[in-house]
Amino acid sequence: MKKRWLTAVLVLCLLAALPVGGALAVDGQVGTPIEKTLYTTVTAEENGPLVLLSAASQSSSGITVTVEQLDDKTMNIYYEGTPTSAGELTFTVAYTDNGVEHSVNVPVSIVELPDLPRVDSYTPSAGTVTMKQSDEPTVFTVAASANGNLSYEWVLNSESVGEASSCTVDPSGMETGNHDLYCVIRNQLGEYVSGDAEVHWVITVEEKEAESLEIKGAASSAQIYGTGTVRFTVTASGSGLTYQWFLISGSSKSALKDGTYHSVTYGGSDTATLKISCDTAPSSTTVKYVCVVTDETGQTAETDAYVLSITEDASMSKITKIEVVTKPDKTEYTTGESLDTTGMKISAVSPKGTEVLTEGFVCDPVRLQSEGTQVINVSYGGKTTSFTVEVRKADHEHRWSAWEADEAVGIVSRRCEIAGCTGREIFTIEEFIDKYPTEAKALGLIREPEPQEEPAEEPEEDDGKEEEQKDDAKKEKKSVSAVLIIIPIVAALLLAAAVFAYFKLYRNNDDDGPGKGTGKKKKATKLNDMRF
């Protein structure tokens, strides 16, 4: 019983400690009317009566707080009005409950009505902008002001492309012709004024200028010791370029084709990169190659000679040590990007000396998924070394372009199309086929075997034998049928003849009469004398 009494007292104490009325503040905006609204209902807690001492009346803020006495134990507190100024206000209602004084506070927060956005400046200043597909991306910016927070929405050809005060437009991925770019600026209420808070550009995109055909970079040389692979790469500028590699022999040259010739295997003979592999050098020799580049207009340009030295001594190619001489140009990445080894150099030490390489080595991992410092392992000639890059979390979701395959170097890649992002995914062709078989098939990396036509069955020669066989079969069938018909007829005739002969003899024996011997004996004699 005592426990119940103590529990009831504790609950009453907690209720008495709670504030009377609602706990939410009244929010409003300058100039916006507030209809009469019930803020809270006060009920006597000490058995009353409730006696109102004071209540706020119309104030300079434009807000009125009123009290309605329902009975001696209940009253309602209301607020209403049209705010005339911004600020934080508190209205107090004082009353007594059974002689004990109480009060209720009504907090009011009034904010200024946000202005419509005003455009102060924007760039480019001209309403029409002409860009070529080969131009660098252009940044469009808007400066606006208001007494509240503003939001921005960039719309390119009816598609939302950004929500900042600036937008980058890359013409390289746009079709030729006119494109509409808008920036719509809104206040906190979502309001805007067309023409004032909406900025419009007409972007005219023109085709990129055709580059003149030019061979860039000097020809190089390489060595193979007994066995190995080298690559010669042409760097050229121009439109619609095609490539053809030639073998120089004296003063003449012959076009190369992919395949193996005298222990040397060629690949990419019609691409920018010629791959040359040697399993076993038949003898020491020096070979020269040139590449003829042709643009879409038919203009051609020929490289200087690339020189390959092949030496029989395979032991000279054994690598004893490798080191990273120069890190790649790019050493900072965001998660999801692929490693870019552009600018990277390693030194390879062998009995023939130290060689600096810019390709041919293997890096792992290629895709950078973990944040922080990432160790990249480098392998070449059976030796390994490493370097580090920094990986941070991407601040956006990558928007990838279409996959592009470069079979000459054996990679498939795609880049992020978001302006300012250098994200790029790279896979070897084998990795790509394993991970994305459907896309690999669409790119032509998976080739279905051509169906082999089954040899048509040769029609059998018709020399008339078949017809003769059919005629013979018909004749044989007719002969059998005739025999089957004749046999019962002959049997019937023979049976009839036998019956007739029997009765004829039997009658003759009866006609001899009595006294001339018995009928049996005579019959027997006649039968014995019969000749069939």
Q: Based on the number of CB atoms within 10 Å of its own CB, is 107 exposed (0-12), middle (13-18) or buried (19 or more)?
A: middle
Amino acid at the residue 228 = G
**In this structure, CATH architecture of domain 118-206:** Sandwich (2.60)
Which position has the token pair 């002959």? 490
List pLDDT tens digits, range 220-267.
Answer: 888 888 788 899 999 998 888 999 999 998 888 899 999 988 778 999
Would you state the pLDDT for residue 516? 43
Kindly report which listed range (393-397, 494-498, 506-510) carries the lowest average pLDDT score: 506-510
Q: Provide mean pLDDT across the span 98-127.
A: 85
CATH 2.60.40.3630 domain locations along the chain:
317-442
E strands in 128-176? 128-132, 138-145, 151-156, 159-162, 166-169
Domain 317-442 has CATH 2.60.40.3630: yes
List pLDDT tens digits, range 299-317.
Answer: 999 999 999 988 876 666 6
The Cα-based distances of 2 to 12, 13, 516 in angstroms read 16, 17, 164
Radius of gyration of the chain (CA): 54
Would you state the pLDDT for residue 531? 38
Residues 60/100, Cβ–Cβ less than 8 Å: no
Count of CB atoms within 10 A of residue 362's CB? Answer: 12
CATH 2.60.40.10 domain locations along the chain:
2-111, 118-206, 214-316
Would you state the pLDDT for residue 292? 95
The Cα-based distances of 496 to 10, 125, 493, 509 in angstroms read 140, 135, 5, 21
Which position has the token pair 């209205």? 91
List pLDDT tens digits, range 329-344.
Answer: 999 988 878 888 989 9
Q: Provide mean pLDDT across the span 280-304.
A: 87
Domain 2-111 has CATH 2.60.40.10: yes
Q: Provide mean pLDDT across the span 211-220.
A: 85
What is the average pLDDT value for the chain, to the nearest integer? 79
Kindly report which listed range (48-62, 175-189, 497-511) carries the lowest average pLDDT score: 497-511
Q: Provide mean pLDDT across the span 265-278.
A: 93
pTM exceeds 0.75: no
Q: Can you tell me whether residue 144 is helix, strand or coil?
A: strand
Domain 214-316 has CATH 3.30.565.10: no
